[in-house]
């Protein structure tokens, strides 16, 4: 009589585990859908600003339009490849990928597109069993799940800034893409 009870207990735990794994997989699927929409909208915003206005900044201490785009790219790279993925961080002072320098509008947009794709590829392969692992995030303990959310918050924050930059330059921002 004990043997069937053990089998039942193992089966229940297996089914609960499979259910939780399916839910976590849904989280990644839904996150990627939202992330793709975020990418689409950011690229529309980036394309809406005339190239001659890419150096626009509303105040001396503000990032320029182009610098905001490159900062978004750098942060995507750092959050996924370095913080979550364990790769050594790019050195902001010496690495040139995310420096505006003499990059054209097209080159800047291409770097952002490439970084979005690298980030999407990373997320697709992310081991969801790591979600509850904690990392130091600027002096705060945050789970890897929270890092995913912080990444999208950061993109939305800077995208919101450059959307205002469009208005300040007489440009009409693209219509907002929902569910991002």
Cβ-based burial of 153 (10 A; exposed 0-12, middle 13-18, buried ≥19): exposed
Predicted TM-score (pTM) of the model is 0.85
Sorting pLDDT into bands at 50, 70 and 90, what band is 42?
Answer: very high
Q: How far apart are CA 11 and CA 165, in angstroms?
A: 57
Sorting pLDDT into bands at 50, 70 and 90, what band is 92?
Answer: confident
Sorting pLDDT into bands at 50, 70 and 90, what band is 176?
Answer: confident
Contact partners, residue 86, CB within 8 Å, separation at least 6: none
Q: How far apart are CA 38 and CA 178, in angstroms?
A: 9
Q: How far apart are CA 137 and CA 143, in angstroms?
A: 9
Looking up tokens 């794994």 gives 21
Is the pLDDT reported for residue 70 higher than 70? Answer: yes
Class of domain 26-168: mainly alpha
Q: How far apart are CA 91 and CA 104, in angstroms?
A: 22
pLDDT for res 142: 97
Residue 105 DSSP SS3: helix
pLDDT for res 57: 97
Average pLDDT on 134-154 reads: 96
Contact assessment for residue 165 and residue 56, using Cβ atoms and an 8 Å cutoff:
yes
For the chain, what is the mean pLDDT? 90
Is the pLDDT reported for residue 38 higher than 60? Answer: yes
pLDDT for res 177: 74
Q: Tell me whether residue 157 is annotated as binding.
A: no
pLDDT for res 13: 59
Q: Tell me whether residue 154 is annotated as binding.
A: yes
Considering the chain, what percentage of its residues have pLDDT values greater than 70?
A: 85
Domain locations in the chain?
26-168
- The pLDDT tens digits of the residues spanning 107-141 come to 999 999 999 999 999 999 999 999 999 999 999 99
- The pLDDT tens digits of the residues spanning 155-166 come to 999 999 999 999
Is the pLDDT reported for residue 17 higher than 70? Answer: no
Tokens at 17, concatenated: 């585990």
Is the pLDDT reported for residue 4 higher than 90? Answer: no
Give CA torsion, residues 149, 151, 157, 162, to 10 deg: -140
Average pLDDT on 132-153 reads: 96
């Amino acid at each position: 009589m004990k043997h069937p009870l053990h089998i039942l207990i193992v089966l229940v735990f297996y089914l609960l585990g499979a259910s939780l794994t399916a839910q976590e997989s849904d989280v990644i699927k839904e996150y990627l859908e939202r992330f793709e929409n975020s990418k689409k909208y950011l690229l529309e915003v980036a394309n809406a600003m005339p190239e001659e206005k890419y150096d626009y900044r509303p105040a001396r201490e503000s990032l320029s339009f182009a610098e905001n785009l490159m900062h978004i790219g750098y942060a995507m790279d750092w959050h996924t490849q370095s913080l979550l993925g364990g790769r050594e961080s790019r050195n902001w002072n010496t690495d040139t990928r995310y420096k505006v320098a003499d990059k054209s509008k097209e080159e800047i947009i291409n770097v952002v597109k490439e970084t979005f794709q690298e980030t999407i590829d990373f997320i697709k392969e992310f081991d969801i069993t790591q979600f509850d692992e904690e990392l130091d995030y600027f002096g705060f303990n945050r789970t890897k799940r929270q890092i995913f959310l912080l990444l999208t918050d950061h993109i939305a924050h800077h995208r919101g800034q450059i959307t205002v930059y469009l208005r300040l330059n007489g440009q009409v921002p693209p219509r907002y893409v929902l569910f991002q």
